Every structure is written in C-alpha cells, then in structure tokens.
C-alpha cells in the first residue's frame, strides 16, 4: 500500500514536470508580457531593459531550467500583473475555487445518483424521460450560456441572487470561506449549479446505464428470489455494484471541475484560481500561468490517487487479492 502511494507520488512529479515543460513551450505563443507591463510612453530602451531583466531574451530551455530551479527552492516568482508573490496569490484564490468545485461536485452527486437510480429502475416512466431530456440540455449547452441565462433570470429579472462575486467571506485561519454568510451562500448557488450541471448529467446517465446493466445480472435475480425487499436489492446490491465506474469518473471530474472552473469563474467573476489564470493568459503573466499549471497537474494526480484508494473501500475483491497475495 505504501509502496503504491510512493510510486504514485513519483508519477505525480513526472506528470508535473511534463506539464510544466509543455506549458513553458506554449508560453512563447501567448504574447509579450512587456507590452502589458508598461504604458505607451515607456521608451524602447526601458522596454528592452525590462525584457532583459525578466530573462525573456534567454532561450526557452534556459528559462525552463531557471523556473524549475526556482520552483524546487519554493520561489514561484512575482506576478507581472499584480506585483504579488504567486504562491500567496494562488493560496488566496484556492479556497474560492475549492469551495465552488466541491459544492458543484456534491450537487452533481447528491442529485445525479438518485436521478440515475430512478431512471434506471423505471426507464419507461414519463418522469424519467423528463430527467433524461433535461440532462441532455445540461450536457449540450455551453457553460457560459447556462451561466448568463441564470444571471439574467435570477439576478436581473427576478433579483433573487447576486449576479457576480463571492459575497461576504469570513476568514477562519488558513481558509477564507464564503460558506458562513448568507450572501456567500446566495452567491455560490448559481456558479455551483452552472459548474455542476454537466457533471450531474454525466453521473446520472452513467448510473442509469450501469443500473440497467446490473439489474439484468443473475445475482440480482437471485437476490429477488431470496425474497429481499426491493430497497435492499436496489440499493444494497445493485447500486453498490455500479459504483466503481461512477467513482472513477466522478474523481476525474472533480479534478476537471477544479481545473476547468475557468469559464464559470469568469462568467460569475468568481475570485478563484481559474479567473486568475484566465487574466494571467490575457496579460501574459508567465509566473502565474506556470505555477497554476503545475498546481493543477498536482491536484489531478492527487485526486486520482484518492480515487484509487477508494476502490479498495468499495470493492472488497481488490482487498482480497492484495492481502491474499501470499498463498
């Protein structure tokens, strides 16, 4: 088990290194930070000096090596745009993104799994058709369209919910949370819904098809023959057996929720890492971009690790194989 985790951590390092390298090679095509960092009256000489000071004239491999060297020492540089250390900046933004993505994931699971079970158990009921149709919309409409429609309806026309931002936040030590205030909850509803909509539809459809599959298997028939209640059959046996693929997909999706909250964060001006990253791209804020990419790579690997560990919990067979390795 420990060996497994350590092996995974090594893989994580490798992934992060590769992501950083790819990211760095792409930065050359994002543009010139110097034109953003100075005003129009700044002399050509000062511009050239700034470019030199930032090391932008060096070949990319050298810039990359310098970046890795600094990163290993925990120096992430200073944002070209805001002038603050990048690690502090990301740490400031992390709570907003995590709260949003976790709430979106929670919403997707809590609503998606029961809907999937329902549509799986009663595929012919009209309500199932309604759920499936709505989920189709969730999958096919782009996030920003859903977001803007929600803003127009609930923010502007009805005036029930705030149209942007995170509301009031409370600082609880390391964490700056919006989940302790009314305005914080009001603010997170629409972004979390927007972000979770796609995942909800995905989970629901996945659970549904898995349920349909499992319900046809022999052990479910035997369970029924044994006279178990419907509830025990559906939830105790059938649902449990659908969960392995669901957990895999959900885990991967939580990673992408965090990494790709960019669009939702932009539409709702949600002050998370995604918004920071998008602004960094527009500004060619290389320190922020590179650190963000590495962080996201790390989050992905970490989540996958957790998912792998969860398999052991859900699927007893894996545990048996491992522990019984000796005979």
Partner 1 sequence: MNIRNTLLAGAAVLALAAGSAQAKELTFGFQGDANSMDPYNLNETFTLGFMANIYEGLIRRGPNLEIEPALAESWEIVEPTRWRFHLRKGVKFHGGEDFTADDVLFSADRVRGDGSDLKTRLAGVTDIIKVDDYTVDFVTEAANPILHFEWATWGIMSKTWAEKNGAVSAQSATGDQENFATRNANGTGPFKLLSREADVQTVAVANPDWWDNANKEHNLTKVTLKPIGSDATRVAALLSGQVDMAYPIPVQDMNRVDSNSGTTMLVGPELRTIFLGMDQHRDELLYSNIKGKNPFKDIKVREAMYRAIDVEAIKKKVMRGLSEPSALMVAPGINGSDPAFTRLELDVDLAKKLLDDAGYPDGFEVGMDCPNDRYVNDEAICQAVVSMLAKIGIKVNLLAQPKALYFKKVLAPSLDTSFYLLGWTPGSFDSWNPLFNLHGCYDADTGNGKFNLGRYCNPEVDALTAKVLSETDAVKRNAMIRDAWVHTTRDIAYIPLHQQALAWGARDGVNVKQRADNQFAWRHVTMD
Minimum distance from residue 88 beta carbon to partner 1 (Å): 8
Give me the 125-164 binding string for partner 1, x by CB under 8 A, dash otherwise. Answer: -----------------------x--xx--xx--x--xxx
Minimum distance from residue 280 beta carbon to partner 1 (Å): 11
> Could you say whether residue 23 binds partner 1 (CB under 8 A)?
no
- CA dist 157 and 150 (Å) reads 10
DSSP string, 164-205: SS----EEETTEEESTTSHHHHHHHHHHHHHHHHHHHHHHHH
Q: What is the total count of residues that contact partner 1 (CB under 8 A)? A: 57
- CA dist 99 and 170 (Å) reads 13
Q: Are 203 and 248 in contact (CB under 8 A)?
A: no
Residue 4 CB contacts under 8 Å (≥ 6 apart), including other chains: 308
Nearer to partner 1, 38 or 110 (CB): 38
- CA dist 150 and 130 (Å) reads 20
Nearer to partner 1, 123 or 167 (CB): 167
Which residue among 10, 14, 32, 114 contacts partner 1 (CB under 8 A)? Answer: 32
> Could you say whether residue 184 binds partner 1 (CB under 8 A)?
no
Minimum distance from residue 125 beta carbon to partner 1 (Å): 38
- Which of helix, strand or coil describes residue 294? helix
Task: For the chain, report the end-to-end CA distance as a whole number of angstroms.
Answer: 18
Nearer to partner 1, 134 or 263 (CB): 263
- CA dist 30 and 293 (Å) reads 15
Which residue among 19, 275, 286, 293 contacts partner 1 (CB under 8 A)? Answer: 275
> Could you say whether residue 218 binds partner 1 (CB under 8 A)?
no
- Which of helix, strand or coil describes residue 107? helix
Nearer to partner 1, 45 or 218 (CB): 45
Minimum distance from residue 285 beta carbon to partner 1 (Å): 10
Minimum distance from residue 185 beta carbon to partner 1 (Å): 16
Q: Single out the segment in contact with partner 1 by CB under 8 A; choices: 10-18, 75-83, 103-111, 243-251.
A: 75-83
| Chain centre distance of CA 298 | 12
- CA dist 8 and 252 (Å) reads 16
DSSP string, 12-75: HHHHHHHHHHHHHHHHTTT--HHHHHS-TTS-HHHHHHHHHHTTTTS-HHHHHHHHHHHHHTT-
Nearer to partner 1, 24 or 300 (CB): 24
Minimum distance from residue 156 beta carbon to partner 1 (Å): 5
- CA dist 216 and 232 (Å) reads 16
Which residue among 8, 15, 75, 213 contacts partner 1 (CB under 8 A)? Answer: 75
Minimum distance from residue 253 beta carbon to partner 1 (Å): 24
| Chain centre distance of CA 118 | 27
Query: How many residues are given for the chain?
Result: 327
Which residue among 42, 57, 140, 229 contacts partner 1 (CB under 8 A)? Answer: 42
> Could you say whether residue 20 binds partner 1 (CB under 8 A)?
no
Task: Provide the binding-site residues for partner 1, judged by CB under 8 A.
Answer: 29-33, 35-48, 50, 53-54, 75, 77-78, 80-85, 88-89, 92, 148, 151-152, 155-156, 159, 162-166, 266-269, 271, 275-276, 278-279, 282-284
């Amino acid at each position: 088990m420990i060996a497994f985790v350590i092996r995974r951590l090594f893989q994580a390092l490798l992934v992060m290194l590769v992501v950083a390298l790819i990211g760095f090679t792409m930065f050359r095509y994002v543009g010139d930070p110097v034109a953003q960092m100075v005003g129009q009256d700044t002399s050509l000489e000062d511009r050239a000096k700034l470019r030199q000071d930032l090391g932008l004239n060096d070949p990319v491999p050298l810039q990359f090596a310098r970046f890795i060297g600094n990163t290993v020492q925990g120096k992430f540089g200073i944002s070209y745009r805001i002038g603050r250390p990048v690690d502090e900046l990301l740490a400031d933004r992390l709570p907003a993104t995590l709260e949003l993505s976790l709430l979106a994931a929670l919403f997707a699971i809590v609503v998606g799994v029961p809907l999937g079970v329902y549509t799986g158990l009663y595929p012919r009921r009209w309500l199932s058709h309604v759920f499936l149709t709505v989920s189709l919309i969730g999958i096919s409409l782009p996030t920003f369209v859903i977001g803007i429609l929600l803003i127009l309806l609930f923010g502007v026309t009805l005036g029930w919910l705030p149209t942007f931002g995170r509301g009031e936040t409370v600082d609880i030590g390391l964490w700056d949370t919006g989940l302790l205030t009314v305005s914080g909850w009001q603010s997170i509803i629409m972004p979390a819904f927007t972000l979770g909509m796609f995942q909800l539809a995905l989970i629901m459809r996945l659970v549904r098809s898995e349920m349909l599959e499992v319900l046809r298997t022999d052990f479910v028939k035997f369970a029924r023959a044994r006279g178990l209640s419907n509830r025990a059959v559906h939830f105790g046996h059938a649902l449990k057996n659908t969960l392995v693929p669901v957990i895999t997909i959900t885990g991967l999706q939580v990673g992408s929720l965090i990494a790709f909250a960019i669009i939702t964060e932009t539409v709702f001006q949600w002050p998370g890492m995604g918004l920071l990253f998008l602004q960094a791209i527009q500004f060619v804020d290389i320190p922020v971009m590179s650190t963000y990419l590495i962080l996201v790579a790390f989050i992905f690997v970490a989540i996958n690790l957790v998912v792998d560990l969860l398999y052991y919990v859900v699927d007893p067979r894996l545990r048996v194989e491992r522990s019984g390795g000796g005979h």
